[in-house]
Chain A
Amino acid sequence: MKTKAIRSQPPHQSPFPPPVKAGNYILRLFVAGATARSRQAVLHVRQTCAAELKAGCQLEVIDIYQQPQMAQDHQILATPTLIKTYPRPVRRFIGNLLNLAGLFAEAKPELAAKPVL
């Protein structure tokens, strides 16, 4: 229902708040050590950000081995975990982040409309 409504209406007529500027994205990526999986995750996030958000985004990479308190503070269970703290809603992506569909849903409604596979 929601996706249909968004698709049928131009963005400025949407009842939802207008999309925030791309530069306002705040992302935190938690990895555990410099493993291949960690590197892969960092790479994927950087690529996606560069591709989707031209203005770039605020990405903070945290190694929980170095800062274990951060893992507790941010409720990290699995690694790698990417937390999109802004804009709301907060979303968590866990895994090697090959598929980051939905991350920039607010910026690109047509992206969010695609089925996530």
Chain B
Amino acid sequence: MTKKRPIIPPAPRSALLPKCPTGIQGLDEITGGGLPRSRPTLVCGGAGCGKTLLAAEFLVRGAVQFHEPGVLMAFEETAGELNANVASLGFDLAGLVRRKKILVDYVHIEPGEIQESGDYDLEGLFVRINHAIDSIGAKRVVLDTLEALFSGLRNEAILRAELRRLFRWLKAKGVTAVITAERGREQLTRHGLEEYVSDCVILLDHRVNDQIATRHMRVVKYRGAMHGTNEFPFLIGENGLSVLPITSLALNHQVSNERIATGIPRLDAMLGGRGFFRGSSILLTGTPGTGKTIISANFAHAAARRGERVLFFSFEESPNQIIRNLHSIGLHLEPLVKRGLLRFHSARPSLYGLEMHLATMFKEIAEFQPHVVIVDPITSLMDAGTDSECKGMITRLIDYLKGGQVTTLFTSLTQGGHVLAQSEAAMSSLMDSWILLQDFQGNGERNRVLYVLKARGMAHSNQVREFLISDRGIDVVDAYIGTSGVLTGSARAAQESLEKAAVLASQQEAAQLEREVERKHAALERQIAAMRSDYETEAAELRRIADQVGTRTIVLGTDRAASGRLRQADIKAPTSPQVSPRNRKLPA
């Protein structure tokens, strides 16, 4: 992690105070390059805030990274104790002592043994420091904790005069010194050492907020140099101290146009068809049980299947529990874990403070070099700190990840009812994409819907979609949106069947009409046929009748003529029948 730190560009030496890099992560950034070279620096703070460790790390890093041997004058701890204490930070002090990179001189003061008698000076201490410096060619000196002298020697007037002389002498000697001192009640140090060390004063502080302790560091004074004046959280981890400056990072990340799929094709479709941008930050908010973990696991699965490394920070469930639970929706994560593509990191949010969480996350990220990071859920971490601390932390995390083009998915648990809680509103400005998961209650059931609230730099769907979680995974389906609102779940199914029934009914109706028409047509045809046959019968009848009538008329005429002739009547004999058959009513 130390290698990644940007190198401070050298300034013209005549103009600026020469600095002595500490190598402590972040401290060089806030002090603009390190402690003032060849001058004493006072590190003060209460018990247990890391003064000795800071001083020891200054020496060790100086010896290892900057090839500047160092002397540690220990007034409180013996060499053996110091070795053990700094070994917890992964520093091999004993080894450095053997290689003559560091010299530890334990200054033992036994007040009970000492009887003061008249005038004296601290030349003994001077000679020891001088001897130590000269024997290894030291450039750095740590005096931890000089104030032990005040408990051993009673003549404060002599002591103060000698301390003043000591600091002057250290300056003249050209060594960069770190002097640790206990925090006083009304002044920076218990014995007012800040009076003598006026070049650089760093104040350490260990505070407990809501039962969670966080260490802070502040550069109270730095003569002749620009420095960060804020209070910076810092922590003591396995690799020493790390100060985490919030404001030291600039907004100048590289951006990528590459898009990565979410593992849910329909969700990709909602995001302009191609998913999220690589290196973007994604927020997934939802009330409890809306499927945040499942969607994020899907995302993780898809990324790991593409061969990308995924780091999954889980603050709610253990890795095994996540793997087991995702089995139920047909997502098999353990082969990916075995192949080293997916790594879980589970920790309870209350395990340690926010800063420690952040540092552990940084460490994991630096180690694993993931392409995708999932934090599930980020809201758990909010319990570990105040809102502003949290926002600061998330800002730093996002900045750090964006700097490395890592795509990050945060899930956020919202309370039912007010989805857009204030903390989220604050957080959302840091996020590039925001997907909201919600549940709809009604008709005695609860259904999940999702929509894209924002997606910077891409066209995205404005629709609310319902998504179903089944043993085959996640399926995003269209929700019905009508005048009565969004229909989901069985209401949607009912609506679907209702529509199906309607279609069926109209189909049936059409068929019925068709049949009716046919029937009518058939009836018509039948009628026509009947009429035609009637007509034909009638016509035949008429013809028969007409024939009959004709015959009869002739017969009648002949008959009349015959009878007239018989009666001698003067009648005109008809020549042809006059009556048209149609004018006569025919017998039925």
Contact = CB atoms under 8 A, between A and B. Distances in A.
Contacts of A81: 120, 124
Interface residues of B, number: 26
A95 interface: yes
B8 to A, nearest CB: 37
Interface string A69-80: 101100111111
Given A98-B117, A98-B118, A78 B123 contact: yes
B113 A94 contact: no
Contacts of B124: 30, 32, 64, 71, 76-79, 81
A111 B131 CA distance: 39
A72 B113 contact: no
B128 A94 contact: no
| B118, B125, B153 — most chain A CB neighbours (10 Å) | B118
Contacts of B119: 37, 95-96
A59 interface: no
Nearest to B132: A72
B131 A95 contact: no
Interface string B207-222: 0000000000000000
Contacts of A96: 117-120
B573 interface: no
Contact of B131 (A30, A69, A77, A100): A69
B115 A102 contact: yes
Interface stretch (B101-109, B240-248, B509-517, B523-531): B101-109
Contact of B118 (A33, A69, A99): A99
A89 interface: yes
Interface residues of A, number: 30
A72 B134 CA distance: 14
B113 A77 contact: no
A79 B120 contact: yes
B114 interface: yes
A30 B124 CA distance: 8
Contacts of B114: 92-94
Contact of B117 (A33, A71, A76, A93): A93
A99 B116 CA distance: 9
Contact of A95 (B113, B120, B123, B128): B120
Nearest to A74: B124
A72 B122 contact: no
B123 A97 contact: no
Nearest to A102: B115
B118 A77 contact: no
Contacts of B107: 75, 77
A90 B113 contact: yes
Contacts of A46: none
A86 interface: no
A85 B82 CA distance: 28
A68 B113 contact: no
Contact of B115 (A32, A80, A91): A91
B113 A97 contact: no
A75 B120 contact: no
14 contacts: A37-B119, A37-B120, A68-B127, A71-B124, A75-B108, A75-B109, A78-B122, A78-B124, A80-B120, A90-B113, A95-B118, A95-B120, A99-B118, A100-B117
Given A37-B119, A90-B113, A95-B119, 4 more contacts: A64-B127, A78-B125, A79-B121, A96-B119
